[in-house]
Amino acid sequence: MQKRQLGNSGLEVSALGLGCMGLSHGYGPPVVEKDGIALIRRAFDLGVTFFDTAEVYGPFTNEDLVGAALEPFRDQVVIATKFGFTFGDDGKQQILNSKPDHLRKVVDACLKRLRTDRIDLFYQHRVDPDVPIEDVAGTVKDLIAAGKVKHFGLSEAGVHTIRRAHAVQPVTALQSEYSMWWREPEKEVLPTLEELGIGFVPFSPLGKGFLTGAISAETQFASDDFRNIVPRFTTEARKANQALVDELGRIAGDKGVTSAQVALAWLLARKPWIVPIPGTTKLHRLEENIGAASVELTEGDLTRIEEALSTITVQGDRYPADLKARAGR
């Protein structure tokens, strides 16, 4: 697979990474450990060198899984994880916490779970309004000096926060949602990243599965599937948003590829410093997604896609209100 650099940082990764969250968290029951390990290692065999996890996924179990899977070839891959939460008495309630003393403890716990002596890319998972971003960036700067972290990242941060953090410790990458059905980053975020030389890592590049065409208004999700509380995944919203999937399917059919591959290739074509991280629990979907790195979209293809997207208004918020409030700070 081709490689890309995340902005001006010099951090080189595969053009497509693997978002590992869904193996342990968010989309129904976690996979059996041996199956998760097999999928991660298959991704490596297919050229993926960029793997994304977080302490909150599980919590903690996803980092354990990723660490076990990647240990045999640790020096050949880039591991990204995220900090910024403590958890309630039930072990699941997520409480924002990016205090420096907490962060110093978290990094050691992450290193242990990931079976490594350094974290290649350490993201603040969500901006903590109670902790100045300068304090967060300064703490990560200290961790970089100590050799525990190589690069600093932010997730779902707004442009003002990005600039403030970058002034203290250069930000290597921003990870935020971006896809054909969530283009908000194009307004302010992408121009800011380009100006500052920061890479962009889109999560949910397939619209949490919707852009693949495998989800319809009749689809039933597992009881613990995150999409059950997402307004964009109500039955009514899925019916309204089917037009986008239908048009994407027609474009893909004309090219002899899949809808997922077109959606990922479209992101890759946006900027050379964009690295999507699609996730899956299925080997055949993994192979399909990785195939997108070889899909060439012509200027005519891109024009057709843009014209199609301009006629469709996606229905439904991407987050419920409480989670929406944490994004874009």
Could you give the residue numbers annotated as active site?
57
Task: Give the Cα separation of 106 and 96 in Å (integer).
Answer: 13
Which residue has 């019916």 as its token pair? 239
Neighbours of 55 (CB within 10 A): 23
Neighbours of 89 (CB within 10 A): 6
Packing angle of the helix pair 61-70, 33-45 (nearest 10 deg): 50
Neighbours of 130 (CB within 10 A): 8
Structure tokens at 308: 């199609």
Bridging pattern class, strands 12-14 and 199-203? unpaired
Task: Give the Cα separation of 278 and 115 in Å (integer).
Answer: 24
SS3 content of the chain, % helix, strand, coil (to 5): 45, 15, 40
Q: 47: exposed, middle or buried (C-beta count within 10 Å: 0-12, 13-18, 19+)? A: middle
Structure tokens at 249: 């399917």
Peptide bond into 59 cis (omega under 30): yes
Neighbours of 218 (CB within 10 A): 8
